[in-house]
């Protein structure tokens, strides 16, 4: 541990990356009147009374002199959708404020908009900290809004999701490999699908539609005029069969009609499908209402990645290929 030559800076950086932080942009006004600002995640709280915060600034920063000389600076805790702004203020030497709307804070310090929290600070102390200087400031004024923060974890931006205290995420180490555990992805996906879909099914059944029939109608509601072969290709991975008998049955019930071997929704079919889809969306709103906005974004983002990673090259319902 004391062997300095063995100290690997990259490994140290990676080790520090395990400490998950928010992301801030800290701004000030240089003596020549230019606005300065840098992305920083070294920010931390120090004291409640008086209210104080700190952060550290690399001595190589072009903004060093401005921060050393400025009496005031402002900390902006970034919101989840401010990744581009964070990237802009993480690049040295660019005109970081070009096109960015700012307000004037104490001492003319530029204040950014759309952040979770803004704190206007007055420098209390500056300390040497190796290749950084540590700035400690008293918070003179602040404002905040209840929106999701941007997170930085292991060198990458991340989103916060609440951890359920009732759910275990660690697979039981004594589970035999063959055991079907509650952490098995197949189980989690299937169960969440069946629980969600069982609520939608009630509405399809209200129109006398089986699962297969409802899926076929919803595929036609995205794009009308598909052949039996295309419909079968689309559903080949679901285990459902767009058989001639099922299509015939939908024609007899006047939900679809056939023309030149392509199938189209009738007015009745379209109305029924839209009603069921509207009910499904309302169920989605209820379910996702129990999550935060960014948890919903994370959940859908991960599901989309899973679909991409496991896709054997199936036709996608929204692709606009002829007869796709």
Ligand X SMILES: Cc1cc2nc3c(=O)[nH]c(=O)nc-3n(C[C@H](O)[C@H](O)[C@H](O)COP(=O)(O)O)c2cc1C
Residue numbers at the binding site for ligand X (CB under 6 A): 23, 38-42, 55-58, 61-63, 90-93, 152
Shortest distance (Å) from residue 120 CB to ligand X: 19
The Cα 196–Cα 202 span in angstroms is 11
Q: Give the start-end residues of each E strand in 187-232.
A: 226-227
| C-beta of 91 vs 193, nearer to ligand X | 91
Buried b (16+ CB within 10 A) or exposed e, 148-160: bbbbbeeeeeebb
Shortest distance (Å) from residue 158 CB to ligand X: 11
| C-beta of 16 vs 307, nearer to ligand X | 16
Shortest distance (Å) from residue 27 CB to ligand X: 11
Cis peptide before 50 (omega within 30 of 0): yes
Q: Of the candidates 62, 76, 55, which has an alpha carbon nearest to the alpha carbon of residue 32?
A: 62
DSSP assignments along 13-56, one per residue: HHHHTTS-EE-EEEEEE-TTS-EEEEEES--EEEETTTTEEEEE
| C-beta of 49 vs 131, nearer to ligand X | 131
Shortest distance (Å) from residue 176 CB to ligand X: 43
| C-beta of 25 vs 280, nearer to ligand X | 25
| C-beta of 34 vs 241, nearer to ligand X | 34
Shortest distance (Å) from residue 93 CB to ligand X: 6
Q: Of the candidates 80, 67, 53, which has an alpha carbon nearest to the alpha carbon of residue 138?
A: 53
Which H helix or E strand runs over 211? helix 211-222
| C-beta of 61 vs 296, nearer to ligand X | 61
10 Å Cβ neighbour count for 34?
13
The Cα 161–Cα 293 span in angstroms is 10
Shortest distance (Å) from residue 26 CB to ligand X: 8
What tokens does 186 get? 């197949």
| C-beta of 147 vs 158, nearer to ligand X | 158
Shortest distance (Å) from residue 105 CB to ligand X: 19
Which H helix or E strand runs over 267? helix 267-288
């Amino acid at each position: 541990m004391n062997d300095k030559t063995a100290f690997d800076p990259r490994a140290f950086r990676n080790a520090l990356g395990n400490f998950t932080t928010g992301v801030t942009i800290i701004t000030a006004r240089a003596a020549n009147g230019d606005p300065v600002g840098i992305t920083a995640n070294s920010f931390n709280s120090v004291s409640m009374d008086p209210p104080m915060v700190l952060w550290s600034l690399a001595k190589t920063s072009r903004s060093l002199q401005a921060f050393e000389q400025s009496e005031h600076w402002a900390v902006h805790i970034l919101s989840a959708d401010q990744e581009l702004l964070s990237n802009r203020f993480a690049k040295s030497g660019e005109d970081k404020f070009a096109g960015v709307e700012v307000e004037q804070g104490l001492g003319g310090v530029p204040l950014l908009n759309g952040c979770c929290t803004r704190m206007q600070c007055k420098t209390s102390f500056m300390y040497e900290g190796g290749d950084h200087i540590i700035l400690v400031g008293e918070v003179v004024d602040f404002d905040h809004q209840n929106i999701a923060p941007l997170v930085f974890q292991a060198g990458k931006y991340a989103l916060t999701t609440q951890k359920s205290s009732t759910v275990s995420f660690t697979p039981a180490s004594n589970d035999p490999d063959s055991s079907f555990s509650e952490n098995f992805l197949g189980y989690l996906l299937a169960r969440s699908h069946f629980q969600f879909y069982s609520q939608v099914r009630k509405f399809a059944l209200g129109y006398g539609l089986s699962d297969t029939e409802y899926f076929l109608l919803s595929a036609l509601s995205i794009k009308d005029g598909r052949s039996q072969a295309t419909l079968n290709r689309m559903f080949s991975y679901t285990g459902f069969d767009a058989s001639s008998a099922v299509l015939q049955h939908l024609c007899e019930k006047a939900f679809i009609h056939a023309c030149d071997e392509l199938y189209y929704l009738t007015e009745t079919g379209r109305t029924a499908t839209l009603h069921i889809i509207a009910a499904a969306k309302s169920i989605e709103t209820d379910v996702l209402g129990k999550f935060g906005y960014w948890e919903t974004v994370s959940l859908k983002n991960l599901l989309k990645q899973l679909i991409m990673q496991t896709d054997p090259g199936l036709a996608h319902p929204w692709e606009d290929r002829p007869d796709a």
